[in-house]
Amino acid sequence: MSVLVLAERDGAQLKPSTYQAMTAAAVWELPIDLLVYGDEVEVAAAEAKQLAGVRRVLTAEAGHFQYPLVEDVQELVLSIASQYTHILSAHSVFGKSVVPGIAARLDIAPITDVIEIQAPSTYVRPAYAGNILTTIENHEPVQIITVRATAFRATVSRTNDQGDDAELISIDVPPAREISQWISEQLTHSERPELNSARVVIAGGRSLGEDFNALLDPIAVQLDAAIGATRACVDAGFAANDLQVGQTGTIIAPELYIAVGISGAMQHLAGIKDSKIIVAINHDPDAPIFKHADYGLVGDLFTVLPELNAALQLNAELQQP
Is pLDDT of 285 > 90? yes
**In contact, 148 and 250? CB cutoff 8 Å:** no
pLDDT in tens, 84-121: 999 999 998 899 999 999 999 999 999 999 999 997 89
What is the C-alpha to C-alpha distance for residues 81 and 62, in angstroms, rounded to an integer? 19
- pLDDT above 90 coverage of the chain, percent: 70
Tell whether 183 is covered by a domain: no
| Same domain as 58, residue 150 | yes
Q: For residue 298, what are the contacts with CB-CB under 8 A and spacing of at least 6?
A: 282, 283, 284, 285
| Same domain as 201, residue 92 | no
Is pLDDT of 191 > 80? no
In b/e form, how buried is each residue of 30-47, taking b as 16+ CB within 10 angstroms?
bebbbbbbbeebeebbeb
Choose among 77, 134, 135: nearest CA to 108. Answer: 77
Q: What is the pLDDT of residue 316?
A: 85
| Same domain as 205, residue 292 | yes
pLDDT in tens, 158-190: 766 555 678 999 999 999 988 888 888 776 666
Choose among 67, 90, 65: nearest CA to 6. Answer: 90
Q: What is the pLDDT of residue 164?
A: 66
Q: What is the pLDDT of residue 51?
A: 93
Mean pLDDT of 241-268: 91
What is the C-alpha to C-alpha distance for residues 18 and 100, in angstroms, rounded to an integer? 18
Tell whether 273 is covered by a domain: yes
How many domains does the chain fold into?
A: 2
Is pLDDT of 230 > 90? yes
Is pLDDT of 55 > 80? yes
Among the listed ranges 31-45, 151-165, 166-180, 197-211, which one has the minimum average pLDDT value?
Answer: 151-165
| Same domain as 26, residue 137 | yes
What is the C-alpha to C-alpha distance for residues 158 and 164, in angstroms, rounded to an integer? 8
Q: What is the pLDDT of residue 12?
A: 86
pTM score over 0.85: no
Is pLDDT of 124 > 90? yes
| Same domain as 139, residue 10 | yes
| Same domain as 232, residue 87 | no
Q: What is the pLDDT of residue 209?
A: 93
Q: How far is CA 37 from the centre of its chain?
A: 19
SS3 label, residue 161: helix
Q: For residue 58, what are the contacts with CB-CB under 8 A and spacing of at least 6?
A: 33, 34, 35, 36, 80, 169, 170, 171
Q: What is the pLDDT of residue 163?
A: 59
Radius of gyration (Cα) for the chain, nearest Å?
21
| Same domain as 222, residue 165 | no
Tell whether 182 is covered by a domain: no
Q: Which of 120, 137, 170 is the last residue of a domain?
A: 170
Question: What does the mean pLDDT of the chain come to?
Answer: 91
Which domain does 310 fall in, by range?
Answer: 195-319
**In contact, 213 and 188? CB cutoff 8 Å:** no
Mean pLDDT of 287-313: 94
Choose among 268, 250, 252: nearest CA to 260. Answer: 268
Q: What is the pLDDT of residue 112?
A: 94
Choose among 260, 271, 191: nearest CA to 224. Answer: 191
What is the C-alpha to C-alpha distance for residues 92 and 10, in angstroms, rounded to an integer? 13
| H-helix or E-strand spanning residue 73 | helix 70-80
Q: What is the pLDDT of residue 97?
A: 93
Q: What is the pLDDT of residue 36?
A: 96
Q: What is the pLDDT of residue 107?
A: 96
| Same domain as 200, residue 165 | no
| Same domain as 254, residue 313 | yes
Between β-strands 200-204 and 122-127, what pairing exists: parallel, antiparallel or unpaired? Answer: unpaired
Q: What is the pLDDT of residue 59?
A: 95
SS3 label, residue 174: coil
Is pLDDT of 320 > 80? no
Q: What is the pLDDT of residue 179?
A: 87
When pLDDT is cut at 50, 70 and 90, the band that residue 286 belongs to is very high
| Same domain as 10, residue 73 | yes
What is the C-alpha to C-alpha distance for residues 211 and 217, in angstroms, rounded to an integer? 10
| Same domain as 86, residue 31 | yes
Burial degree of 286 (CB within 10 A; 0-12, 13-18, 19+): exposed
Look at the alpha carbons of 131, 22, 98, 229 in this order and tell me if their dihedral is positive or negative. positive
When pLDDT is cut at 50, 70 and 90, the band that residue 242 belongs to is confident
